[in-house]
Each structure stands twice: as structure tokens, then as C-alpha cells.
Amino acid sequence: MHSRTLVLRFPREIVDKPIIISLVRDYNLDFNILKAQIFPRKEGMLVMELRGTADDFDRGMRYLEERGVQVEPVGQGIRRDELRCSQCGACTAVCPTGALHVKRPQMEVEFESERCSACELCVKTCPVRAMIVTFDKAIA
């Protein structure tokens, strides 16, 4: 199974077209939307995890590019400053991938960076600013 976290940018000409459904229906790909910003008649941005066989994935990528969708791998990551973290758990409530979760029975917040999609929701939520955006994680 092939899996990648991608940023898709939709130009205004196609922002209202049902493009993602074709990835499921015609190319047998599964997806998980992590973040979306859609501006009708302007532009759209979608961060998603896309999964499928390598052949289906490649075919799906060609389909997106033919439709005019700009496809970029996630070029950033998130790290946690362990000294700043107060273990409050606020970040666990907003983490869409479960990369941040409470370890029981210790009641400590664990961060599994390999599960992180770099959606930045934890960065905005952390009251002590322990979650930090890095720009060195590129998924090939």
C-alpha cells in the first residue's frame, strides 16, 4: 500500500468540480482530508492523506495534474518542545491523525511524529506554544 500526505491546490476554474470523488471511484484510492480551505470561484487548498496501490496512486496523480490541480508533498513537519510542554492535553483534542494522544495510565501526552500530517491545528491550540512548525520534513 502506498500512502502520502499531499497539498492539493485547485485554481478557480476547477474549484467547484467534483475531482476528488474520481480518485475514489475511478482510481481506487482512499483519502483522509486533514485540512481544507475552499473559496468559491477563487481557489482551493486541500491537505490530504492519499492511499492506494502504487499503480493506482500514479494514475490518480496523473489525473489530478491533467485536470490542473497542483500537487505538492507536505514540506513541513511539527516538533514538540518537551521543556515547554505542560502535558495539558489540549492538542490531543484537535489532532486528526492521533499523532498526539494521552498515554494511560501515566496521563502523559505522547507525540508520534511519524503519524503527524503537519496540519498545524496543535500549534494553534497549544497554550504554552510547545508545538513548533519545522520546514525540513519532505515526503518523497
Catalogue all structural domains in the chain, each as residue range(s) with its CATH number: 2-73 (3.30.70.260), 77-134 (3.30.70.20)
Per-block average pLDDT, block size 10, for the chain (140 residues)?
Answer: 84 91 93 86 88 93 95 81 95 93 94 84 93 61
By 3-state DSSP, what share of the chain in percent is helix, strand and coil, each rounded to 5? Answer: 25, 35, 40
pLDDT, position 97 = 87
Q: Distance between CA atoms of 19 and 76, rounded to whole angstroms? A: 25
Cell of 67: 485536470
What does the pLDDT look like over 88-97, one tens digit per residue?
A: 999 999 998 8
Residues 6+ apart with CB under 8 A from 109: 85, 87, 88, 89, 91, 92, 100, 101, 102, 103
Angle at 80 between CA 79 and CA 85, to 5 degrees: 170
pLDDT value of residue 135: 62
Write down the pTM of the prediction.
Answer: 0.58
Predicted local distance difference test score (pLDDT) of residue 76: 66
| d(C-alpha 13, C-alpha 16), whole Å | 8
Residue 137's pLDDT is what?
41
For the CA atoms of 99, 100, 104, 107, the dihedral, rounded to the nearest 10 degrees, stands at 160
